Each structure stands twice: as structure tokens, then as C-alpha cells.
A and B are shown apart, each in its own frame.
Chain A
């Protein structure tokens, strides 16, 4: 059974760096073809893809946010970490991690999401 769960601070101040952790089970990021992505959704707005990390350590980022994002993995802990620098109130959103299906074309399992509010 595949599960993912996001964790991190619910509140960050403007200009701070956000660090979110995705803890997962039911698969391993050391297995060929496995990938995990982060997606966010501001309140009342659309989903936005942020980043992806692959079993072979390849990293991919949203063009508009790539200067602020870093994605990494700890295979031994079954975790993926996303950092986003220079947080702003417009970054207030529910942040989801999701497993990328083996083909690489879509997301097949999602975490429950966590709301991160950026406010002073």
C-alpha cells in the first residue's frame, strides 16, 4: 500500500526558507523508475507543479520557481525534502507530495497535503 504524508511548519515568516518533508511508504526511491513530485495549491486556486526527484537523483523544477526550489531525497528514510527560499505571502498554499507513476506521465498517489501560511 502506497502512502505519502507531508510535514513541516504550518507558519513561516516572509523572507524565511520553507522546508517540507514528504515521508512515504509502499515503494522505494532506490527502485528504478520511482519518482516523487511536489505540487501546491493556493487557497481557492489551481494546482501548480513545483518539482520532481527521480530514483537516479535527477531533479526537475518549475521554470517560474526553479531559482527558489531545491528537492532532495533520503532513500534510507523514505523521505523527500523540498526547500523554498524567500517565502512570500503569495506562497501561502496547501503543499502536496505525490508519487509519479512509473511511466513518468502522471501522479498516481497523493499525500493529504499541508497548509503553509506565510505571514509576519
Chain B
């Protein structure tokens, strides 16, 4: 079974930088999985932040960036703001029409 694991939680100070990661139990995450990232404030609909590893969706601030770090996909928030406090989910496209979401990371800004 395919499992995509993220850090359960992260805290960051306002103005600080954090990097969330997205790991695949069966091996390395690489660009061919077309990693995407979604932000979800509790009770709200997910918002697409990043797609195809590192492309920001329209209107997403440039403090959000995506990459591959080692064998994981990564989302970096540089200069965190209070309204970045949310849950963040990565998603991998496994091919053949199959998608897998990560376990999610709750980010607290304090």
C-alpha cells in the first residue's frame, strides 16, 4: 500500500522559515510524481498552492516555494505570516489516474 508521510505538526515564529516534507514509503519522491501542495484552513476548502513540484498557483504569494529535497518533496514558507497557520497536504500523482495525499502537516505561527 502506498503511504505518503508528512510531519504531523510544525511551529514557526512570524517572519520565520519552515520546510515541510513529503515522503513516499516505496521510495524516493521525484518530479515524475508531479508533487502538488494544498493549504486548508480548518473548516475551509483546500486551496491549491503549488503544482508540478515548484509552480505556484495563481495568486499564491512568493513566500511559498516547492522543491525536491533529497528523496522528498518539500514546501518552504519563507517569512511566515499569521494567516499561514493552516493544514498543508502534499499529493503525488502515481500515474494511471491514481493520486495519493499525504498525511498532512498542521502549521502553527506563534
> How many Å lie between the Cα of A113 and that of B46 in the bound state?
10
Q: Which residue of A lies closest to B89 (CB)?
A: A47
User: Between A and B, how many residue pairs show CB distances below 8 Å?
Assistant: 65
Q: Which chain A residues lie closer than 8 Å to B101 at the CB level?
A: 39, 46-49
Q: Is B64 an interface residue (CB 8 A)?
A: no
Interface size of B as a range: 20 to 34
Q: Which chain B residues lie closer than 8 Å to A63 at the CB level?
A: 1, 98
In B26-41, the 8 Å CB interface with A consists of 34, 36, 38, 40
The 0/1 profile, CB within 8 Å of A marked 1, for residues 50-82 of chain B is 011000010000000000000000000000000
Q: Which chain B residues lie closer than 8 Å to A108 at the CB level?
A: 48, 51, 57
Instruction: Tell me whether B34 and A105 are in contact (CB under 8 A).
Output: yes
> How many Å lie between the Cα of A49 and that of B46 in the bound state?
13
Q: Is B96 an interface residue (CB 8 A)?
A: yes
> How many Å lie between the Cα of A62 and that of B86 in the bound state?
26
Q: Which of A39, A58, A105 has the most CB of B within 10 A?
A: A105
**Shortest beta-carbon distance, A36 to chain B, in Å?**
12
Q: Using a CB–CB distance below 8 Å, which chain A residues touch chain B?
A: 37, 39, 46-49, 52, 54, 58, 60, 62-64, 96, 101, 103-108, 110-113
